[in-house]
Amino acid sequence: MELQQVGNNLSKVEQSPSKSMLKALSPSLKSLISDKLLKHSDVDVKVALASCLSEFTAPDAPYDDGQMKVCLIIFVID
């Protein structure tokens, strides 16, 4: 699935998804924070990834503070 499609799908998820929805999204959420994507050199991939991750920043982000810090550092510095 393309990152843009993932982002479009994530934008349709309620702000505080149910446990069953989070379970269904779990594979996508795990792949979004993979080194392969986080360290990708293509700016278009980074923008699409940032868009996907922004869908889960508040109020109940499925990522811990350390994971979000790494994401933000990569997007701001790179």
| Domain locations along the chain | 30-78
| pLDDT range class, residue 33, cuts 50, 70, 90 | confident
Cβ density class 55-64: b for 16+ within 10 Å, e for less: bbeeeeeebe
Q: How many whole angstroms separate alpha carbon 55 and alpha carbon 69?
A: 16
What pLDDT sits at residue 57? 58
Please report the pLDDT score of residue 35 as a whole number: 87
Residue 32: per-residue pLDDT: 85
pLDDT reading at 58 higher than 60: no
pLDDT reported for residue 75: 67
